[in-house]
Amino acid sequence: DAGVTQSPTHLIKTRGQHVTLRCSPISGHKSVSWYQQVLGQGPQFIFQYYEKEERGRGNFPDRFSARQFPNYSSELNVNALLLGDSALYLCASSLEGYYTDTQYFGPGTRLTVL
Amino acid sequence: QQPVQSPQAVILREGEDAVINCSSSKALYSVHWYRQKHGEAPVFLMILLKGGEQKGHDKISASFNEKKQQSSLYLTASQLSYSGTYFCGTENEGTGRRALTFGSGTRLQVQP
């Protein structure tokens, strides 16, 4: 079975631009979570979606937004990019997003903001 | 609140054992362990739930001390493939759909 897929793999943007990252969960999984991982740190929670509804939001500014589609895939949007947004963005899927569910991570999108 | 992992880094020879700890200042309801190799996604190792249930890797063991709000990951007879950064993700509310809060990681290097 295919794992979690993310696109693009790498992305280079300049300050002030907008970016859209995409994620397809494991077949049968209805929950997608987004994490930001800065070099040398653990993943930091951004959003969780379940059945197209936002179920949780981390401590990130309103420049970050996301949505989930009927096929459970998801997009993460970041507006007005800052240098500090440079990071690895990870998508994780789970069956229903419960705290007892295993989350499976995708390979991530490496975003560089110049 | 971010869990605290210790040690921050450890170097082993093949065949040696290691213990990685994860502590929380709040009650723990589930602890999720992952290993991440450089440039790759975190890979699920094990989940421990309050009450004793465990799910995960059959070659790695872990413990969950609810009183101490602590979990430990035991790596025995280490192999070169065990090298990477180990993260614990914790959940502190024990209800519903919750995101994980990850520690800063423990860098493990296994040498021949």
Residue A42: CATH number of its domain: 2.60.40.10
Residues of B in contact with A4 (CB under 8 A): 41
SS3 A28: coil
Q: Which of B40, B44, B98 sits opposite A104 (nearest CB)?
A: B44
**A6-28: average pLDDT:** 97
| Structural domain of A57 | 5-100
The rounded percent of chain B whose pLDDT value lies above 70 is 95
Cβ atoms A14, A113 nearer than 8 A: yes
How many domains is chain A partitioned into structurally? 1
Cis before A107? omega within 30 = no
Q: Which of A35, A44, A99 sits opposite B94 (nearest CB)?
A: A99
What span, in angstroms and rounded, lies between the C-alpha atoms of A44 and B34? 14
| B12-71: pLDDT as tens digits | 999 999 999 999 998 888 999 999 998 889 999 999 988 777 777 667 889 898 888 999
Average pLDDT, chain B: 90
Which domains can be identified in chain B, with CATH numbers?
4-111 (2.60.40.10)
Q: Is residue A108 part of a domain?
A: no
